[in-house]
Copies of this chain bind each other. A is one copy, B any other.
Amino acid sequence: MAAPTPTRPRRRGHDPESVLSIAVDVFNERGYDGTSMEDLARALGVTKSAIYYHVPGKEQLLARALDRALDGLFAMVADEPAGPAIERLEWVVRQSVRILADRLPYVTLLLRVRGNSVTEQAALERRREFDRFISRLVMEAAADGSIRPDVDPALVTRLLFGTVNSIAEWYRPTRGASPDDVADALLKMAFNGLRAEPAARG
């Protein structure tokens, strides 16, 4: 009660969070290397030097963004439910689509990292660890006969998560299908096939 006008935010200007959020958008528009601090300053409506009041530098912005994507993915697989491998695989695909949509700018940035700095290399290593987890899951589903045996499980992993990751290229949160709609379509295509049902089937 003693606080004056609690609805109006007392702080004007930016904080580390808003700087990161806007910076990541610019990174995704122009690419990280193609973005100058001047570009970021323009997008933030301040001068270059003001950015350094909120964050230590360009590479730290990248590091924080990449962690935000990777932390989401690892938190997800830590919550993996019990059940048959094929069902866990479907669950992980669906959750991955959800995280990709929820944290779209951060995941998009992660998917474009090439390893040009120690920051990027560290992110790539964490990503490879995630990929190994997925790979094991697909191998389990293949081993128990839930997945067609005429395609190499390593190839299945790459195609399946290549499809998931490609969503970042076109998905926009406020337009078209919801994340769950996209996940439904992806799972239908990848697990049951695009072909129209042959009229007679369970």
Residues on A lying within 8 angstroms of B by beta carbon are: 29-31, 33-34, 86, 112, 114, 116, 145-152, 154-156, 158-160, 162-163, 165-167, 169-170, 176-177, 181-182, 185-186, 188-198, 201-202
Contact = CB atoms under 8 A, between A and B. Distances in A.
Contacts of A162: 162-163, 166-167, 169-170
Q: How many copies of this chain does one complex carry?
A: 2
A149 B194 CA distance: 9
Contacts of A181: 155
A10 B159 CA distance: 46
20 contacts: A29-B114, A31-B31, A31-B33, A33-B34, A112-B112, A146-B196, A148-B188, A148-B196, A151-B188, A152-B185, A155-B177, A159-B167, A159-B186, A162-B162, A162-B167, A162-B170, A189-B193, A191-B193, A192-B195, A198-B202
